[in-house]
A and B are shown apart, each in its own frame.
Chain A
Amino acid sequence: KAGVTQTPRYLIKTRGQQVTLSCSPISGHRSVSWYQQTPGQGLQFLFEYFSETQRNKGNFPGRFSGRQFSNSRSEMNVSTLELGDSALYLCASSQTGNYGYTFGSGTRLTVV
């Protein structure tokens, strides 16, 4: 059974640009969550999607957005990048969004 796949693994962007990250969940999982991991703040919840609907949103500015497609794949977008957006962005999938979250290896975003 394939795990959670995140692409790309690494990204370098310039301040002010925008970026789109992709996540393919485990087959059969309909819930996809996104987390930001930094050394200072740790793992912080961004948002969660289930059947193309956002059910939960964390305390991040509107520059952070996401969506989910009918095949459960998800993308997150960050616009007007800031230096502080440099982080490991993790996607997790689960069947219902309640338990058993499986994480991908993440996308390492560096903003210069």
Chain B
Amino acid sequence: QQQVKQSPQSLIVQKGGISIINCAYENTAFDYFPWYQQFPGKGPALLIAIRPDVSEKKEGRFTISFNKSAKQFSLHIMDSQPGDSATYFCAARPSGAGSYQLTFGKGTKLSVIP
């Protein structure tokens, strides 16, 4: 019930291409969906986040698409660059008092090749 399933595990994209990472969840109480980017030796850094009242949010080259009925959300990285090579994690947090924890997907290792 608390799981967030992320795919693919790894992704190779040509420079300038679009990287797409997908996540699915079961718990309908989730109401906050952030994406994190992690470089080796660093902690995860918040990229972009969405609430279920909107279907899409864009920040620069990063876009979250959210499908509430399908319980799925995805990260699109436009014009992917070698500097985007990192591990990406989707996460979700349930609403309600006493729910101050993020449930993470297993991560996607993105490699952008020149």
Interface positions of A (Cβ within 8 A of B)? 4, 6, 31, 33, 35, 42-45, 48, 50, 55-56, 58, 90, 92, 97-106
Known: A56-B99, A103-B43. 16 other contacts (CB 8 A): A6-B43, A35-B102, A42-B105, A45-B102, A50-B100, A55-B100, A56-B100, A97-B100, A98-B93, A99-B34, A99-B49, A99-B93, A103-B44, A105-B41, A105-B43, A106-B42
Indicate whether A56 sits within 8 Å of B101 (C-beta atoms), given known contacts A42-B107, A98-B32, A101-B34.
yes
B interface bracket (residues with beta carbon within 8 Å of A): 20 to 34
Q: Which of B36, B42, B89 contacts A105 (CB 8 A)?
A: B42
Cβ of B63 to closest chain A Cβ, rounded Å: 19
In the complex, the answer to whether A43 meets B45 with C-beta atoms within 8 Å is no
In the complex, the answer to whether A106 meets B43 with C-beta atoms within 8 Å is yes
A10 to B43, CA, bound (A): 14
A112 to B98, CA, bound (A): 36
Q: What are 7 A-B residue pairs whose CB atoms fall within 8 Å in the complex?
A: A42-B89, A42-B107, A98-B32, A99-B49, A101-B102, A105-B42, A106-B42
Give B71-114 interface residues, CB cut-off 8 Å to A: 89, 91, 93, 98-107
- 6 smallest CB-CB distances across A and B, nearest first, come from A103-B43, A43-B104, A97-B100, A45-B101, A48-B100, A42-B106
Indicate whether A45 sits within 8 Å of B103 (C-beta atoms), given known contacts A100-B46, A105-B41.
yes
A44 to B106, CA, bound (A): 10
Cβ of B102 to closest chain A Cβ, rounded Å: 7
Q: Residue of B at shortest CB range from A106?
A: B43
In the complex, the answer to whether A90 meets B43 with C-beta atoms within 8 Å is yes
Cβ of B39 to closest chain A Cβ, rounded Å: 10
Task: List the B side residues contacting A56 at CB < 8 Å.
Answer: 98-101
Task: List the A side residues contacting B101 at CB < 8 Å.
Answer: 33, 45, 48, 56, 58
In the complex, the answer to whether B100 meets A90 with C-beta atoms within 8 Å is no
A45 to B44, CA, bound (A): 14
Indicate whether A42 sits within 8 Å of B32 (C-beta atoms), given known contacts A56-B99, A105-B41.
no
